[in-house]
Structures are given as structure tokens and as C-alpha cells.
Amino acid sequence: MNYKQQLAVIEGLNVPPDTQMRMDCPFCNNKNTLLVDTINNNIGWYCFHSSCTAKGKKQGEKDMSYVATTFKKNLIVLNQCIQMKKQ
């Protein structure tokens, strides 16, 4: 199965945004071997079964919530560094 076909199947699973989920692989039908990751508006998938070739990644568009979350995390780290230097 090629990338576009795999992507269509993965998108059809309707995994919620910002989620990592293990499930049965729809490509090789093995139990709990497929990891689907929808963190940061990307979709990534990988089957851990040795005979399965299902894997791929699609980079999504970056929206304002992604930018806000990224800057908030960076601000927290920066504030922690400043507090450590003051001590």
C-alpha cells in the first residue's frame, strides 16, 4: 500500500488532535501494533509488527493555537532559567 492510500486510512480513523494512540493495525490486522500520533497538528503512524510496512508522516498547517502553545512553553523555560540564575 502506498503513502497516499495509508494516509487516507489513517485520516479515516478520526484520531483526535494532540493524541498518541495505540490500536490494532488496519494494514496487517495485528493487535495493538499501530501507533498514531497527532501532536502539533501533524499526523504520524508506525506499525511495530516486523512484517508490516505501515509508516508515514504528514506535516499539518501551523495555526495560532500551535504558535501560542509553542511560545508559552518557551516562556516557561525562559522564566525557569532566570529563576535559577537569581539563586
Who has greater pLDDT, 66 or 19? 19
Domain of residue 20, residue span:
3-61
Q: Is the pLDDT of residue 4 over 90?
A: yes
What's the total number of domains in the chain? 1
Neighbour count for residue 47 (Cβ, 10 Å): 20
The whole-number pLDDT of residue 7 equals 96
Is 48 inside a domain boundary?
yes
The whole-number pLDDT of residue 39 equals 87
Is 46 inside a domain boundary?
yes
Is 81 inside a domain boundary?
no
pTM above 0.85, yes or no: no
Nearest to 36 by CA among 60, 63, 18, 61: 18
Who has greater pLDDT, 18 or 69? 18
Q: Is the pLDDT of residue 55 over 90?
A: yes
Task: Give the pLDDT band (50/70/90) at residue 51.
Answer: very high
Cα separation of 40 and 17, whole Å?
Answer: 8
Q: Is the pLDDT of residue 67 over 80?
A: no
Is 8 inside a domain boundary?
yes
Is 39 inside a domain boundary?
yes
Is 75 inside a domain boundary?
no
Joined grid coordinates for residue 56: 508515514
Q: Is the pLDDT of residue 61 over 80?
A: no
Is 37 inside a domain boundary?
yes
